Chains A and B, each alone.
Chain A
């Protein structure tokens, strides 16, 4: 692959200024400059990226257009005609979503003796959990405490987090690490068994546990293996397309759809856990994303129609340095460590335009400004904008061999495509990373506004406030997935099955009509429209 001739011309400009930049320290932003930059260019601050939703329990709340679009859409089912008299499966606990949260919930509900069914859109384990590299936080060393972890989470979230959820997160953290250790999850350890732990952004103690740089994959495949060992029923390629209710605010199951044959199934359940992940694949504000193929906000849509309140969805996490070239890795994460080691952000004229270690939101905004307003960025063959991240500076500062020693995975990632990041800079652009908000829940994951419905993981909101710290999403899915499995199975013991209804969907449809919304959109969308013959502008730069 390597670089195009045009890119190589730009690289010469970067090389020409490297010696000068070696001695140069770009000014830090003043608080006023930072605020101006954020307000001008961070998607969260730009009024044109969001609008208030016109219907539902959170009517008037401001959220990204792409999310409001799927919320202001019609059901796949005609709620007045869809037959609910034939029940295809009848269980205690129905779990929708087969990532880290869903698998954890299934294991705990099964252990509690509940009759469980896990239904998931793709394969068991197809989820963002599988992709998390960095690690999982837990205050399990003597000089650390859940209280310090609590402070870090609150500070990272802008002190807006829901306290009871943060308490649950940090309290359970050592318990879930122990649980995973018992299950045979291969954490990095010293020879004497001590966990190897590192700092993450915003941590005051080294409490990031890892399994090489496959932390999420190791956790997910262990949970998946255990779900299979316990022979918990799993329906793959069977997303839920609508929740079922008693006609009012109580959940009673879901309608599932075989994604391949389009056959519908009615699943009745005493309690339902929604753990379908976030909205990365809606490409909020046209951004590329680090997210899994299935991250299309299905759970948000279904829970909202049944009255689940949505919180913090105006806060989206963009990581400043996603790969912008080559095409094969667009959107994938370039770890913050690259900047930590001294690589500078540089435009096509070889100039720095931001101090590289400003906060993530500020660096993202500066890159966006450089590309879209100042037009000093690169535009790749596929139309993807980006700026240079001058990786050779790392070797210039710390000596030859530093990249191979400190960033081996990153080096290999680029070497695969004929780019030697020791010799040439790489191209980056902010990438959509995480849905900070979601459905409002209590600390046992029950939805505040719907009975017998539980939500865990990225679909829920509140625990991370307006901004999640690294290492707290893997923790979130296991902590709240387990809590969901425990609470949903316990609650199921006290629920008597009753008739099923889609009346909540009929009412939602009426609201949509009253708001004058066009009838041309259906959700949950289930799969992102990436083929050449489907048109979502900006959804995929390749199309």
Chain B
């Protein structure tokens, strides 16, 4: 059975492709072998940010090529990489507040509040408002709101203030996790035990057990309840 086709325009050139395909598979169907613009193929890596327009619609649409199904008349191009300002820093030496963020990314304050970044986010994140949180120095909120960011770069590509939202976002997340969230005490004490050699002998002994001895221990181990 021949599947129904739709006509799409890949960087301006028309191709007939099966209508059930994602943009990514449609481009492969058309004959493109990806070098750029293709990564995990599962919606996690942000390699395949795509912008497109539909006929008779002035709006610019966005999507991940691996997660977006083709539609008849779709006129698309990928933006696999976008020139972006990335500050370098030693997260340990920073303080979790506005002043260090602005030192690293002074353009943060140029935000116009136009909300174009939010409209450009294929993850449907509230980009403008996590930027607003960053501008207030609310690291916790910026980190939380930006957590699902794939760093695809479409927000930065559309920003009239030329900020790089996703790089500011990862800075806030690292600041939050390093300086705001309380450290795990149980982790610190286990690390101390390990470095003191508390498990050296017993683990060494385990590596010398026979298969039968290991199996017996394995079958005897108690399971922590759900």
Contacts A126-B47, A217-B150 given; does A204 touch B190 at CB 8 Å? no
Contacts of B179 in A (CB 8 A): 184
CB neighbors of A among B174-206 (8 A)? 174-179, 181-191, 194, 199, 202-204, 206
> Which residues from chain B contact A292 at a C-beta distance below 8 Å?
39-41, 45
Partner of A151, one of B34, B86, B199, B214: B214
A128 to B182, CA, bound (A): 30
Contact B22 A416 (CB under 8 A): no
Judging by beta carbons under 8 Å apart, are B39 and A122 in contact? Answer: yes
B187 touches A167 (CB 8 A): no
Contact in complex: B194, A146 (CB < 8 Å): yes
**A128 — which chain B residues lie within 8 A by C-beta?**
40
Using Cβ atoms and an 8 Å threshold, which residues of chain A touch B150?
217
A178 contacts across to B, CB distance below 8 A: 187-188, 191
In the complex, which range does the number of interface residues on chain B fall in?
A: 35 or more
Given A327-B20, A531-B31, are A192 and B182 also a contact pair (CB < 8 Å)? yes
Would you call B207 and A540 a contact (CB within 8 A)?
no
Q: Does A537 contact B (CB under 8 A)?
A: no
Residue on A nearest B150 in the bound complex, by CB: A217
Report whether B45 and A126 are in contact in the complex, using a CB–CB cutoff of 8 Å. Answer: yes
A214 touches B147 (CB 8 A): yes
Docked-complex contact A1 and B217, CB < 8 angstroms: no
Tell whether, in the assembled complex, residue A328 and residue B22 are in contact, meaning their CB atoms are under 8 Å apart.
yes
Q: Which one of A130, A167, A206, A381 lies within 8 Å of B45 (CB-CB)?
A: A130
By the criterion CB–CB under 8 Å, are B187 and A177 in contact?
yes
- A39 in the interface, Cβ–Cβ < 8 Å? no
What is the bound-complex CA distance between A527 and B34, given in angstroms?
Answer: 8
Min CB–CB distance A541 → chain B (angstroms): 9
0/1 string, A170-206, CB within 8 A of B gives 1: 1100110110011111110101111100010000111
Identify which of residues 121-137 in chain A touch chain B, using a CB-to-CB cut-off of 8 Å. 122-123, 125-126, 128, 130-131
Known contacts A150-B203, A259-B35; A195 and B170 CB within 8 A of each other: no
Q: Is the CB of B182 within 8 A of A416?
A: no
A151–B188 Cα distance when bound, in Å, is: 23
Stretch at the interface among B5-13, B89-97, B107-115, B129-137: B89-97
B52 at the interface (CB under 8 A from A): no
CB of A229 closer than 8 Å to a CB of B: yes
Q: How far is the CB of A434 from chain B (nearest CB, A)?
A: 15
Rounded to whole angstroms, the CA-CA distance of A216 and B150 in the bound complex is 12
Taken residue by residue from 222 to 233, chain A's Cβ proximity to chain B (1 for < 8 Å, 0 otherwise) reads as: 100110111100
Q: Could you tell me the distance between the alpha carbons of A6 and B215 in the complex, rounded to whole angstroms? A: 49
The reply to whether A159 and B214 contact each other, CB–CB distance below 8 Å, is yes
- The answer to whether B143 has its CB under 8 Å from any CB of chain A is yes
Interface positions, chain B 122-177, Cβ under 8 Å from A, are: 143, 147-148, 150-151, 170, 173-177
Complexed CA–CA distance, A128 and B45 (Å): 10
A65 interface residue per 8 A CB criterion: no
**CB within 8 A of B221: which of A148, A159, A166?**
A148
Query: Which of A150, A205, A214, A540 has most chain B Cβ within 10 Å?
Result: A150
The answer to whether B88 and A131 touch across the interface, beta carbons within 8 angstroms, is no
Report the minimal beta-carbon distance from B21 to chain A, rounded to whole angstroms. Answer: 6
Q: Can you name the residue of chain B whose Cβ is closest to the Cβ of A180?
A: B177
Q: Of B28, B90, B190, which is in contact with the most chain A CB atoms at under 10 Å from its CB? A: B190
A193 & B20 in contact (Cβ 8 Å cutoff)? no
- On whether the beta carbons of A532 and B28 are closer than 8 Å, the reply is yes
What are the residues of chain A within 8 A of B66 when measuring CB–CB? 328
What are the 10 tightest A-B residue pairs by CB atom distance, in nearest-first order?
Answer: A193-B182, A184-B174, A184-B178, A163-B207, A186-B177, A155-B218, A184-B177, A140-B190, A174-B190, A530-B28
- Can you name 20 A-B pairs with beta carbons within 8 Å? A131-B42, A141-B186, A143-B224, A145-B199, A163-B206, A166-B207, A174-B187, A177-B187, A182-B178, A183-B91, A193-B182, A221-B151, A225-B170, A226-B91, A229-B91, A260-B36, A293-B38, A527-B33, A531-B31, A532-B31
In the complex, given contacts A171-B203, A328-B66, what are 16 additional A-B residue pairs having Cβ atoms less than 8 angstroms apart?
A122-B39, A130-B39, A174-B187, A178-B188, A185-B177, A186-B143, A189-B181, A189-B182, A193-B183, A204-B223, A204-B224, A214-B148, A237-B36, A293-B38, A328-B22, A533-B31
The chain B residues found within 8 Å of chain A, CB to CB, are 1, 3, 18, 20-22, 25, 28-36, 38-42, 44-45, 47, 66-67, 69, 86, 88-92, 143, 147-148, 150-151, 170, 173-179, 181-191, 194, 199, 202-204, 206-208, 211, 214-215, 217-218, 221-224, 226
Chain A residues engaging chain B, CB cutoff 8 angstroms:
1, 122-123, 125-126, 128, 130-131, 139-143, 145-148, 150-152, 154-155, 159, 163-164, 166-167, 170-171, 174-175, 177-178, 181-187, 189, 191-195, 199, 204-206, 212, 214, 216-218, 221-222, 225-226, 228-231, 237, 259-260, 290, 292-293, 326-329, 332, 381-382, 416-417, 527, 529-534, 540, 542-543
